[in-house]
Amino acid sequence: MQEKNLQTIFQAQKAFFYSDATKSYGFRIKQLKKFKKVIKENGKSLCDSVYQDFQKPVEETYISEIAMIIRELNHSINNLKKWMRKKKVATNLTNFLGKSYLFPHPLGKNLIIGAWNFPYSTVFTPLIACIAAGNTAIIKPSEIAPHSSNAIKGLIKDNFSREYITVIEGGVEVSSSLLALPFDHVFFTGSTQVGKIVMEACAKHLSRVTLELGGKSPAIVDKDADIKKAAKKIVFGKGSNSGQNCIAPDYVYAHEKIQDSLLEALKDAYHQLYPSEKHIASIVNEKNFQRLNTILNQEKIYFQLPHKREDKFIPPTIIYPANWEKPAMKEEIFGPILPVLTFSRIDEVIKTINQREIPLALYYFGKMNWPSIEKGIQFGGGTVNDTLLHFANPNLPFGGVGSSGTGCYHGYSGFKTFSHFKSIFRKGKWPDFSFRYPPHDGKKMKWIRKLF
C-alpha cells in the first residue's frame, strides 16, 4: 500500500514537473518568498519541536537552523535572476560565427533525505536550492527526531501542493521504498555507512546523487596560535548541538609546546560558555547515549563539567591523553567528548590524517604551518583560527570528499547541484565550410590538418 502511495505521489510530481509549472522565474521567486514568510512565522514552534526531540536550547536552534535557513533564502531570492540566466562561453575558432552558452535547466524530480541532528537545515537548505533551480521534491526527514519531522510535514503540507513538494515521514523501510523510485536526483544527508546504501540504490536508476556525510574533523592548534581564543572557538564548535554536528571539531591535535596551556584554556572556556546544563542539548536517543558512555568508560577522563540532568545528558568532557588505538579515535564521536592528542612535527599530523578517512572539516589555529596543511591534507572545507564559520558563508560550497561526501550545496553551488547546464552551440547562417563534409579527399584533409 505504502509503495503504491509513493508511486502515486511520484507520478503526480512527474506530471507537474513536465507541465513546466515550476520552471519560470515568477513561480520560483514566489515560492522562495512564501517559504521565507512561512519559516519566519513558524520559527518559534520549529525551535520548540527540536527542544522536544533532544532538549536543544531554543535559542541555539534559532541561531544554528532558523537564521541559517533565512540567510539561505535571502541569498537565493537576491541572486535567482542572475543564476537563471544563460551563461555565455567563448566559441572556438572552428565554430566561429556562432554562439555558445550554458542553459541551466532543472533536473526534475528530487528526493531529499535528512538527518536528525539539524532536522530543518538538512532538508530545508537543499529544498531552497531545489526550488530555486525549478524542481519538484519529496522530503524524507529523519524519524529519530519525530517532533521536528512532524513539524516539517505540517509546514510543507499547509503551504505547498502535494505534486510540487511532499513530505513522507518514516524510517529505513520508507527510505528504502523511496530510493527504489527513479528520481532524477537524490540529496542525502547522514552517515557514511548509509551514504553507501543510498549511492548503490541510485546506481540502479542512474539517479544523480549528492551525499553530505560525516567524519572525524580535526582542530589543529599550533605553537604560534592564540591559545585562549583557540580554546574558546573549539569549545564553541564542539558545544554546538552537544557535539552532534557533522562539522564539529571531533578531536584536537595540540602542539606539545602549548598543550598544557591549551588544556587549561579549554577548561576555562567550557566553564565560561556553559555555566549550567540548560545551555546544553541532550543526546538524541538511548542508542547514541549508550555508544558515548561506552567510549567514556574506556578512556581517561581529564575534565568534565559538573552539570547533571535526568534525561540522556552527557556533560562536556575532555579525554587526555587521547590515542588513535582507543575507542574515541576509532570513529566519528558525534557527542560532547573532546579527545586531545599531542604532536611535535606538522608532517606527522599530515601523514596521520591522510592515512585515515577524509574529514568533512578541518580547523587550524596558528599561522606558520597553514600552507603545508592546506596543500597537504584532503578535507571538505575548513576555517582558520575559528570553527564552523565556513559553513555560514553561502558563497562557499559546502560538502565533503570521499567518505565525507560527494557534491556540495549552499548558495549558487546548491542551484548548480539541482540543475543540469545544457551546453548549446547556436550556429550562425554562415560560413558553412565544405571541407567538413564527406567525401574527405586529399584537398579537404589538407585544410582540416592545417586547421587543427
- The residues that are catalytic are 212, 246
Q: Using CB atoms, what's the residue nearest to ligand NAD?
A: 214
53 binds ligand NAD (CB under 6 A): no
Stretch that binds ligand NAD, among 50-58, 69-77, 138-146, 350-358 (CB under 6 A): 138-146
| Interface mask toward ligand NAD for 203-232; x: CB under 6 A | ---------xxx------------------
Q: How far is CA 386 from the centre of its chain?
A: 19
246 binds ligand NAD (CB under 6 A): yes
Greatest C-alpha distance within the chain: 89
Helix axes 227-239, 259-273, angle to 10 degrees: 50
Helical (H) or strand (E) element with 186: strand 185-189
Nearer to ligand NAD, 189 or 207 (CB): 189
In whole angstroms, what is the distance from residue 432 CA to residue 452 CA?
17
Q: What's the CA dihedral at 28, 82, 210, 16 to 10 degrees?
A: 30
Q: Which of 10, 17, 35, 118 binds ligand NAD (CB under 6 A)?
A: 118
Stretch that binds ligand NAD, among 61-69, 191-199, 315-323, 419-427 (CB under 6 A): 191-199
Q: Which of 72, 222, 250, 332 binds ligand NAD (CB under 6 A)?
A: 332
In whole angstroms, what is the distance from residue 186 CA to residue 210 CA?
6
Closest CA to 179 of 207, 156, 157, 152: 207
Q: Which of 116, 120, 365, 418 binds ligand NAD (CB under 6 A)?
A: 116
Stretch that binds ligand NAD, among 36-44, 136-144, 266-274, 427-435 (CB under 6 A): 136-144
191 binds ligand NAD (CB under 6 A): yes
Based on the number of CB atoms within 10 Å of its own CB, is 381 exposed (0-12), middle (13-18) or buried (19 or more)?
Answer: buried
Work out how close the CB of 342 gets to ligand NAD at its nearest, in angstroms, rounded to a whole number. Answer: 25
Which phi and psi (to 5°) does residue 50 adopt?
A: -65, -40
Structure-block grid coordinates of residue 341: 592528542
Stretch that binds ligand NAD, among 48-56, 69-77, 109-117, 434-442 (CB under 6 A): 109-117
Q: Which of 133, 346, 360, 361 binds ligand NAD (CB under 6 A)?
A: 360
Which phi and psi (to 5°) does residue 206 adopt?
A: 50, 40
Which amino acid is present at 176?
S
Q: Which of 32, 113, 167, 202 binds ligand NAD (CB under 6 A)?
A: 113
Nearer to ligand NAD, 13 or 244 (CB): 244
Stretch that binds ligand NAD, among 12-20, 139-147, 306-314, 318-326 (CB under 6 A): 139-147
251 binds ligand NAD (CB under 6 A): no
In whole angstroms, what is the distance from residue 410 CA to residue 43 CA?
20
Which amino acid is present at 297?
N
Look-up: residue for cell 540529496? Answer: 187
Q: What's the CA dihedral at 324, 325, 326, 329 to 10 degrees?
A: 30
Work out how close the CB of 172 gets to ligand NAD at its nearest, in angstroms, rounded to a whole number. Answer: 4
- How does strand 419-427 pair with strand 405-406? unpaired
| Interface mask toward ligand NAD for 157-186; x: CB under 6 A | --------------xx--xx----------
DSSP per residue, 97-120:
SEEEEEEEEE--EEEEE--SSSTT
Site size toward ligand NAD (CB under 6 A) is 29
Q: Which residues bind ligand NAD (CB under 6 A)?
A: 113-118, 122, 140, 142-144, 171-172, 175-176, 189-191, 194, 197, 212-214, 246, 332, 334, 360, 400, 405
